[in-house]
Structure 1
Amino acid sequence: MRLFALRDYRHLFSAQVIALFGTGLTTVALGLLAYDLAGPRAGTVLGTALTIKMVMYVVIAPLAAAYIDRLPRRALLVTLDVIRGAVVLALPLVSEVWHVYVLIGLLQAGSAAFTPTFQAVIPDIVTDESLYTRALSASQVASTMESLLSPVLAAVALTFMSFDRLFLGTSAGFLVSALLVLSTRVPDARPSTHTRAWDKAAAGIRTFVTTPQLRGIMALNLTVAAAGSIVVVNTVNYVRDELGGSQSDVAWMLAASGTGTLLAALALPRVLDRIAARTVMTAGAAVLVAATTAATALIVAGLITWTGTAIIWIGIGTGMALVITPTGKVLRDSVARNAIPETFAAQFSLSHLAWLITYPIAGWLGTSAGFTAAWSVLAVLAAAGATAALLLWPRHDGPESTRAPAKINQHASSDDPSTLVRAA
């Protein structure tokens, strides 16, 4: 049976895709809203908003995963979609910066709870093991596609409308997502073998600390976040103020990074059949270090051009894909099968913790001290993460060298789209 022949999974996956694109369009529109409210200080506003997002993901997501088996999951998913739709609808009405912070906190709290709930539903709907692996991979493919297409769609839309209209479309998208969830039969969760919330939240993190290759991934998370923050936080001010571009130019520059991500993700399945994941991921880290260094050099030398910026942004997108795409495979191969859910949940929190460190640097330091200072710090962090990964993940430590068993029954999303790409 093919994965998308399962009606309930098909509807839930569609709901996830619509919600992802809603979040992506909201991110583009939020950057433009920040520029409209704060002008040159838009980086600070956006950096603070995204820091709030990461705090919500790091704190709320593990707690939501821990308590998920005590709540009716379909009702929870629908409620979270409705809340997010209402919050996005209110965003274009704000007149003060602090309004943005409050609404973003509510929006991302909903997303932080939605993600682990959705991930926990998958194994109860897709019971075949091979299809379950493809379902995990499909989630990451959707995220990768969103990173490319959301900015492109935003760029096209912004040629016909003002950015505040994007919020209306994304709000409608969350409501459609809620209707799709309502059309599915989502069973309530089975009780977990862990009775205490902290046991569930901390089990995966303990696995990361005790497994060499997973310690390497923790370090690579910092490299990805350091480079990615330049694109996510600083693109708006850089394109508008340094390059003199328009709203749609901001979206097209974001799409350049997404193009690098997508092309690398599509090429990697065959590469990973021949080359070890560690080699691919450390090569991606090297690309990210080179890109962040080049971005800093571009500013220092005063060589601020559209072509040079686009090449660096594509390089950052490519490097991120080289690191992120094999991560799911390494995680799955490093632990026993019953430990996979908690391991992915830990990676979800730890990766967002890295972004929590780098977003304020890109936003606050970039605004107060300039791009040169902020990007220099981020380049150093990217290099530190790459170096630590090489030291923490020795070449002789293959994915199967350490397996850390665990007992937990909720499932999390894979970062490896290769299975789905090969099966398509």
Structure 2
Amino acid sequence: MNKISLPICLNNPVFRRLYAAQTISLFGDALTLLGLALLAFELAGASAPIVLAGALTLRVSAFTLLSPLAGAIADRFDRKPILIITHLGRMLLVCLLPFVNSVWQIYALVLGLNIFNAFFAPTYQATIPLVTGADEYPQAIALSGTTYQILGVFGPGIAGVLALFIGARELFFWDGLSFIIAAILIATLPGNLRADVTAEPRSKIQSVGADIRVGTAKLWTDAPIRYGLMMQLVASIAGAQILVNTVNYVQGTLHQTAVQYGWVMMGFGLGATLGAMAIGIYPQYRSKIVTILGGGGLISASLIGANYVGLAPLILLWSIAGFGQSLINLSLQTLIADRTPTEMQGRVYGAHFAWSHLWWAGAYPLAGWLGTTFPDRTFLYGSLIGLGLLAIVQLLLAPDRFAHTHPEFSHVHAHTHDLPHQHEHLGNLERADPIHQHPHLHSQLRHTHTYADISHHHSSSAHHH
């Protein structure tokens, strides 16, 4: 197996500039998250957790409802202006946050921020395979994921230091500056970021609706992608337990301080960072399906004894959980790029972004109920639920775990209409012409091929449009 080092993808000047823009805006996001927590405490006092929980719900709702639409738009338009507009829109909104004086204004601005973010995130994810080669995009995806995790761990700490010197509300202006810099970097990218030059740039509402259905259908009809998506449901159950109930366990059961709580959560983030780095170094190790299964097992099993350990073992367990979560998330993101034609990736990434956040919308209330109903066994029960669901997914949905997956590909072939074979074509194709050409899509799961695999009938009974 040939190992591909991370610097190779950074030799791509387009991806390098795109990655720099993402890194800068992610640092700005860290400023926003910490600033929001401080602002919520300033305005709501002891009710600050309720305010933050409401903001989190708005975030998940915006992603779930709008990401499929964002993916459909990303496949029909030049993605460069989409990325620029979403950065500038967030810049304007975060610069309004220093002036808020009531909780409803926080909700309104957070909703607006995440509407723009719902359009940015899937568009950016779908753009990585567009600007990188087949030997680059697994490492490019992993590098982006690693950067996201690292800034998630260390960004709030850096933001906290800045807040000591410049004040909590002033953090938002620095965040706005980061979005401006990122937008400028994207604006200087050469050419356009159009995925399918043959697609109509303006489409009817019905066409956009059809695009959304195409992205969702791809998720649920492609066996490896469907398997990975359901494993993300497994990971969300354990992940929500960690995010919702760790603070009560550390400060309530273990009688530690907020500082020790920060150490535990840093362990989770560092584990996720190591998982992202592992995916980047060993992108083709065994099979992505095996990697996803391993990630689901790690994050679910790491919780099973967490209610009965002290601080140091808890940090280790949460590091294992973070490692498992990255194995699932980044392997699935790469799998989508492997198995989806370039002109469809925006729709599929958008649909995936929505469904994966829908899992968290259900996992958060479950974690809250377990934490209040079974406070001394919440992690144990969460682990058992996750492991049970993992077993069901593995038994019912797992594709051949050791099959070598190929990207989907298409070719154009001549096609003749006889009398029994009539159908409509999109575009301006003259139906009166009985002989014409159109693309034909192939998808293979196994590395071993028979003559039947590579011989294609183009009869009316075997050919699908």
| TM-score (normalised: structure 2) | 0.71
1:359 equivalent to 2:359? Answer: no
Alpha-carbon distance, 1:390 to partner: 1.0
- Once the two structures are superposed, residues 163-215 of structure 1 have per-residue CA deviations (whole angstroms, 9 ceiling, x without a partner) of 54543432322222122223334526335379711222222321232233223
2:148 aligned to which of 143, 146, 151: 143
Q: Summarize the Cα distance change of 1:383–1:161 in structure 2 as closer, same or farther, 3 Å threshold.
A: farther
1:386 aligned to which of 383, 390, 404: 390
1:325 equivalent to 2:330? Answer: yes
Contact kept, 8 Å, 1:219 with 1:385, in 2: the verdict is no
Q: Summarize the Cα distance change of 1:98–1:388 in structure 2 as closer, same or farther, 3 Å threshold.
A: farther
- Once the two structures are superposed, residues 284-319 of structure 1 have per-residue CA deviations (whole angstroms, 9 ceiling, x without a partner) of 222222233334x24xxxx6x533442332232122
Q: State the distance in 1 between where 2:372 and 2:108 align.
A: 23
Q: Summarize the Cα distance change of 1:402–1:354 in structure 2 as closer, same or farther, 3 Å threshold.
A: farther
Moved more, 364-373 or 327-336: 364-373
1:175 equivalent to 2:186? Answer: no
Map 1:53-92 to 2 at 5 A: 53-68=59-74, 73-92=79-98
SS of equivalent residue, structure 2 residue 257: coil
- Structure with the bigger RCO (C-alpha within 8 Å, sep 6+) is 1
Instruction: Give the match for residue 199 of structure 2.
Output: 192
1:256 equivalent to 2:256? Answer: no
Q: State the distance in 1 between where 2:211 and 2:114 align.
A: 22
Q: State the distance in 2 between where 1:232 and 1:95 align.
A: 28
Q: Summarize the Cα distance change of 1:343–1:324 in structure 2 as closer, same or farther, 3 Å threshold.
A: same
Letter in 2 for 1:219: M
Letter in 1 for 2:177: A
Q: Summarize the Cα distance change of 1:164–1:351 in structure 2 as closer, same or farther, 3 Å threshold.
A: same
Gaps of 5+ in 2: 1-6, 412-465
SS of equivalent residue, structure 2 residue 144: helix
Alpha-carbon distance, 1:102 to partner: 1.5
Contact kept, 8 Å, 2:215 with 2:349, in 1: the verdict is yes
2:116 aligned to which of 110, 116, 119: 110
Map 1:397-416 to 2 at 5 A: 397-398=401-402, 400=404
Contact kept, 8 Å, 2:233 with 2:356, in 1: the verdict is yes
Equivalences, count: 398
Q: State the distance in 2 between where 1:138 and 1:272 align.
A: 11
Instruction: Give the match for residue 203 of structure 1.
Output: 214
1:223 equivalent to 2:229? Answer: no
Contact kept, 8 Å, 2:59 with 2:114, in 1: the verdict is yes
SS of equivalent residue, structure 1 residue 293: coil
1:350 aligned to which of 345, 348, 355: 355
Q: State the distance in 2 between where 1:282 and 1:386 align.
A: 8
Alpha-carbon distance, 1:382 to partner: 2.3
Q: Summarize the Cα distance change of 1:236–1:397 in structure 2 as closer, same or farther, 3 Å threshold.
A: closer
SS of equivalent residue, structure 1 residue 187: coil
- Once the two structures are superposed, residues 49-90 of structure 1 have per-residue CA deviations (whole angstroms, 9 ceiling, x without a partner) of 112111111211211222246666444433322221232233
Q: State the distance in 2 between where 1:34 and 1:240 align.
A: 21
Alpha-carbon distance, 1:116 to partner: 3.2
Q: State the distance in 1 between where 2:346 and 2:120 align.
A: 16
Q: Summarize the Cα distance change of 1:157–1:307 in structure 2 as closer, same or farther, 3 Å threshold.
A: farther
Contact kept, 8 Å, 1:78 with 1:178, in 2: the verdict is yes
Q: Summarize the Cα distance change of 1:128–1:316 in structure 2 as closer, same or farther, 3 Å threshold.
A: closer
Instruction: Give the match for residue 292 of structure 2.
Output: 281
Q: Summarize the Cα distance change of 1:21–1:360 in structure 2 as closer, same or farther, 3 Å threshold.
A: farther
Alpha-carbon distance, 1:220 to partner: 1.0
